[in-house]
């Protein structure tokens, strides 16, 4: 992964320079500069609008007592899109523009979730709990119900048996 990151740091500027030269030969240097500045300005405006909408959806999710996981992923990808659109270059502008497409961001988020926790979507952990007060008597064995070695997992109903 580190090698891939290093290669992208080295190859991206080289590709951008070759694209600048190629497009500059076709349309001229000044129009290339105008295009780069225009894509940055338009991209930042779109990122801002979509970011505000993402924040609104995240607040709605929090208001409904749900974790705004997808909204956070969309927000992170919008931040990356903004960064890519601000970096001068046609390749980075293209990649940043791709991240402005909500269905593509959702697809990427699901891919990230699937690869970050393989198989965890199907794991169910069941358990029981009981509440204990913080006050205790010395014969109870302590605040957590531990009265002797090996009996540390006994619940309140297990002690009477």
Q: Is residue 104 predicted with pLDDT exceeding 90? A: yes
Average pLDDT for 66-91: 89
Dihedral over Cα of 28, 32, 33, 38: its sign: positive
Return the pLDDT at 18: 92
By the 8 A CB rule, do 58 and 100 touch? no
CA 158 vs CA 25, 136, 153, 155, 161: distances in Å: 83, 17, 9, 5, 6
Domain-wise residue ranges, the chain: 13-115
Of the candidates 156, 127, 130, the one whose C-alpha atom is nearest the C-alpha of residue 147 is 156
Burial class from Cβ neighbours inside 10 Å (0-12, 13-18, 19+) for residue 47 reads buried
Average per-residue pLDDT for the chain: 80
pTM of the predicted structure, to 2 decimals: 0.65
pLDDT tens digit string along 33-70? Answer: 999 889 888 888 988 888 898 899 999 988 888 888 88
């Amino acid at each position: 992964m580190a090698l891939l990151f290093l290669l992208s740091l080295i190859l991206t500027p080289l590709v951008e320079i070759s694209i600048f030269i190629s497009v500059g030969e076709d349309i001229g240097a000044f129009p290339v500069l105008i295009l780069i500045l225009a894509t940055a300005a338009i991209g930042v405006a779109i990122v801002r609008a979509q970011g505000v909408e993402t924040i609104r959806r995240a607040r709605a999710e929090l208001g409904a007592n749900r974790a705004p996981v997808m909204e956070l992923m969309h927000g992170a990808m919008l931040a990356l899109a903004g960064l890519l659109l601000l970096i001068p270059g046609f390749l980075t502008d293209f990649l940043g523009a791709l991240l402005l497409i909500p269905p593509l961001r959702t697809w990427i988020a699901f891919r990230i979730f699937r690869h970050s926790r393989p198989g965890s979507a199907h794991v169910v952990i069941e358990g029981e709990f009981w509440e204990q007060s913080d006050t205790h008597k010395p014969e109870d064995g302590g605040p957590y119900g531990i009265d002797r070695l090996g009996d540390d997992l006994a619940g309140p109903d297990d002690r009477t048996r």
